[in-house]
Amino acid sequence: MQVEQVKVFTRPKTLRPVVTHYCPGCGHGIVARLIAEIIDEFGIAEKTVGVAPVGCSVLLYNYLDIDMFEAAHGRAPAVATGCKRVHPELAVFTYQGDGDFASIGTAEAVHAAARGELITTIFINNAIYGMTGGQMAPTTLLGQKTSTSPQGRNSKVAGFPIRMAELLATLEGAKYIARTAVHDPKNVIQTKKSIRRAFETQLKGLGYSMVEILSQCPIGWHMTPPESTKWVQEKMMQYYPLGEFKISKEV
Amino acid sequence: MTGNEAIAEAAIQAGCRHFFGYPITPQSELPEYMSKRLPEVGGVFLQAESEVAAINMLFGAAGAELPCVIVNIMRGGPGLGGIQPSQSDYFQATKGGGHGDYHLLVFAPHTIQEAVSLTMDAFDLADKYRNPVMVLGDGNMGQMMEPVVFKKNSGLKLPEKRWALTGAKGRPVNLIKSLYLDPQALEKHNLEINRKIQEMIANEVRVETYSVEDAEIVIVAYGTVARIAKTAIRVLRERGFKVGMIRPITVFPFPYSTFEEISGDLRKFLVVEMSLGQMVEDVKLGVCGKAPVEFYGRTGGVVPTYDEIVTETERLFKGVP
Ligand SMILES: Cc1ncc(C[n+]2csc(CCOP(=O)(O)OP(=O)(O)O)c2C)c(N)n1
Ligand code: SF4
């Protein structure tokens, strides 16, 4: 009897067959794969340019088989703006951590959104500085211990965590703003849907788009991978509600 | 302690109670240490949103002609570069990274103990001159561990800060600014800054000379490279080569006169740096053509080994091109 073999799951073409540098249980790798899947589904690998600034995000250019820039800390939306204005036919996206997007790069983030720049930001919110070894990020939760908030983040000294999605959703130029997570399969599927909508917003010329993705950093949080997914569910999602904060009729 | 931690503790012991910073390898242990220690001594640790914000917070805390201490732990560049030790920022530190006729006083320690004492002095001199002082280390100096002793503050009598903005209670108002639309006024301001710099040049030069008395070749190095060169010199002396070293401790003001003094009877200078040649320009100015100045450098985060320096020096002795 002939058994028909149907391929139901495979590596996206845009995702290079290499080992990533991400720690076990890290959310970055999942998102890298989702971006690759979306690029393949839209068939835009040859007209997409990515921008990866420093942070654990920076090595994305080793994993995606597309043209990519490396940007200085925080400056990716400015680099993407330059690229998109010169090459309006391209799909241009930035891939940024929370230290990058919500701390040193807030000016670029806010102004790219305010201008309605036709670029997409994939924003990895892991509530910590991963690459430099676990310092406090602007998104670090109150009470969360990091290497520069050893007693736990205290709002009297270090203020309050920033909700970037809600902040950017107030801007006219921003046309798709969502927050998702990647700690379980259901949320991974939702994240993929949001990334697709963000790219669609750009490709249809509607305006700026951003997906904030709650992402586990077991190493920076000093947790096991299962503990870290639980922490996303129980702690991060409390403060950072998931949802689509802004969406156009056209997508 | 690591150099980063030792510098942080020295700063606290020198009286530092406010720290504004931003993480970066290879210096993140410094803010980390400050975040733990400053609250214990009633100080303020604030992680700024960027380096630009951090220096402007310092400006707000201290005012222009900023009496502050900046620690630069150098890594390889340009751009994002890498995280391994390098001496890539010599030009930026000594020649001024901004515009206008200004200089920082720049210390270049070569041991953790020296980093501690220079950091403590840096706080005094920043106040004395009302000028930023930089402690210029490299990734190695930041991450290396050595035992250290914290000595008492120098006890230098510091000028009163009459210019500080504290609310004009019972005194005429103060203004801190750098905008002078009238060129005559701006020239006057620059001349005043220059007066301070000339005073630093006259009084603050520090340099170590090491086995130079009978030396035929003098190695010139600072920071990490200088301590590697000391090992190289020991090996070379054992092999009968007369080699010494000049080690600038302040790289601004640079010890030009030390070079003028000994250039005459020398065969050669050999400048060794973890860069492709930055300090070598100052050495040439000091030597002023009286002896050949050779250069050996590794860059991009590669640290030269002592046997590379030995080989290079022996090559110069043999006159091999
Ligand atoms: C101008 C500048 N300042 C500081 C750094 C050091 N640095 C590298 S990555 C990083 C932050 C990384 O954190 P985040 O953006 O949250 O990304 P993650 O690593 O957590 O994914 C910092 C501060 C740098 N490279 N450039
Ligand atoms: S440090 Fe954190 S964000 Fe970086 S790769 Fe490891 S788990 Fe991921």
Interval between CA A6 and ligand 2 midpoint (Å): 35
Start-to-end C-alpha separation, chain A: 46
Residue A114 tokens read as 């305010």
Interval between CA A27 and ligand 1 midpoint (Å): 17
> A137 near A128, Cβ under 8 Å?
yes
Query: A101 to chain B: nearest residue by CA?
Result: B49
Cβ separation of A150 and B35 shorter than 8 Å? Answer: yes
- Confidence at residue B66, expressed as pLDDT on a 0 to 100 scale: 80
Query: How does strand A120-125 pair with strand B250-252?
Result: unpaired
pLDDT confidence of B62, banded at 50, 70, 90?
Answer: low
Say yes or no: B24 contacts chain A, CB-CB below 8 A.
yes
- Report the 10 Å Cβ neighbour count for B136: 27
Interval between CA B24 and ligand 1 midpoint (Å): 7
Nearest to A70 among B46, B49, B80 (CB): B80
Query: How does strand B105-107 pair with strand B250-252?
Result: antiparallel
pLDDT at residue B18 is higher than 80:
yes
Q: What is the DSSP string of B174-234?
A: --------SHHHHHHHHHHHHHHHHHHHHH---EEEES-TT-SEEEE--HHHHHHHHHHHH
- Confidence at residue B41, expressed as pLDDT on a 0 to 100 scale: 96
> B108 near B140, Cβ under 8 Å?
no
pLDDT confidence of B35, banded at 50, 70, 90?
Answer: very high
Pairwise CA distance, residues B86 & A74, whole Å: 24
Q: Name the phi and psi angles at A175, rounded to 5.
A: -115, -20
Nearest atom (ligand 2) to Cα of A216: 7
C-alpha distance from residue B269 to each of A170, B224, B263, B282 (Å): 64, 19, 9, 12
Of the candidates A104, A91, A96, the one whose C-alpha atom is nearest the C-alpha of residue A41 is A91
pTM for this model (two decimals): 0.88
Of the candidates B134, B137, B294, the one whose C-alpha atom is nearest the C-alpha of residue B220 is B294
* Residues of chain B by 3-state class (helix, strand, coil), percent to 5: 40, 15, 45
Nearest atom (ligand 1) to Cα of B23: 23
List the residue whose alpha carbon is closest to atom 6 of ligand 2.
A23
pLDDT at residue B25 is higher than 70:
yes
Nearest to A133 among B22, B28, B49 (CB): B28
- Confidence at residue B230, expressed as pLDDT on a 0 to 100 scale: 97
> A185 near A232, Cβ under 8 Å?
no
> B197 near B252, Cβ under 8 Å?
no
Cβ separation of B24 and A132 shorter than 8 Å? Answer: yes
The residue assigned the tokens 């379980």 is A184
Nearest to B80 among A72, A150, A157 (CB): A72
The domain defined by A28-247 carries CATH number 3.40.50.970:
yes
Query: How does strand B44-47 pair with strand A48-53?
Result: unpaired
| Mean pLDDT in residue range B39-61 | 89
- Confidence at residue A148, expressed as pLDDT on a 0 to 100 scale: 97
Q: Round the average pLDDT of chain B to a whole number and report it.
A: 92
- Confidence at residue A1, expressed as pLDDT on a 0 to 100 scale: 67
- Confidence at residue B216, expressed as pLDDT on a 0 to 100 scale: 94
Interval between CA A224 and ligand 1 midpoint (Å): 23
Encode chain A (251 residues) as per-residue pLDDT tens digits. 678 888 888 999 999 999 999 999 999 999 999 999 999 999 999 999 999 999 999 999 999 999 999 999 999 999 999 999 989 999 999 999 999 999 999 999 999 999 999 999 999 999 999 999 999 999 999 999 999 999 999 999 999 999 999 999 999 999 999 999 999 999 999 999 999 999 999 999 999 999 999 999 999 999 999 999 999 999 999 999 999 999 999 98
pLDDT confidence of B166, banded at 50, 70, 90?
Answer: confident
CA distance B142 to chain A (A): 15
- Confidence at residue B320, expressed as pLDDT on a 0 to 100 scale: 64
Q: CB of A130 closer than 6 A to ligand 2? A: yes
Cβ separation of B50 and A151 shorter than 8 Å? Answer: no
Query: Could you tell me the strand order of the sheet in which A208-214 lies?
Result: A67-71, A48-53, A91-97, A120-125, A208-214, A174-181, A243-246
- Confidence at residue A210, expressed as pLDDT on a 0 to 100 scale: 98
Give the residue numbers in A contacting B (CB under 8 Å), as ranges.
54, 58, 70, 72-74, 99, 103-104, 106, 129, 132-133, 135-136, 138, 147-151, 157-158
| Mean pLDDT in residue range B231-256 | 97
pLDDT at residue B177 is higher than 90:
no
Interval between CA A203 and ligand 1 midpoint (Å): 30
Strands (E), chain A: 48-53, 67-71, 91-97, 120-125, 174-181, 208-214, 243-246
> B304 near B276, Cβ under 8 Å?
no
Pairwise CA distance, residues A64 & A156, whole Å: 42
Chain A residues touching residue B49 (CB < 8 angstroms): 103-104, 106, 138
Asked if ipTM goes beyond 0.85, one says no
Residue B110 tokens read as 């070569």
Question: Which residue ranges form the domains of chain B, and what is each CATH number?
Answer: 3-203 (3.40.50.970), 208-318 (3.40.50.920)
- Confidence at residue B319, expressed as pLDDT on a 0 to 100 scale: 82
- Report the 10 Å Cβ neighbour count for A136: 27
Residues 6+ apart with CB under 8 A from B96: B102, B103, B104
Query: B19 to chain A: nearest residue by CA?
Result: A148
Ligand that lies nearest to the alpha carbon of residue A105, given by its number in the listed order:
1
Pairwise CA distance, residues B63 & B47, whole Å: 19
Ligand that lies nearest to the alpha carbon of residue A125, given by its number in the listed order:
1
| Mean pLDDT in residue range B230-243 | 97
Cβ separation of A148 and B25 shorter than 8 Å? Answer: no
Mutate to test the pocket of ligand 1, among A54, A59, A125, A217 (most ligand atoms within 8 A of CB): A54
Nearest atom (ligand 1) to Cα of A100: 15
Pairwise CA distance, residues A61 & B25, whole Å: 21
Task: Provide the sign of the torsion angle of the four alpha carbons A39, A45, A51, A53, taken in this order.
Answer: positive
pLDDT confidence of B63, banded at 50, 70, 90?
Answer: low
Nearest atom (ligand 2) to Cα of A124: 3
Interface probe, candidates B30, B46, B50, chain A, greatest A C-beta count within 10 A? B50
C-alpha distance from residue B252 to each of A70, A77, B244 (Å): 34, 38, 22
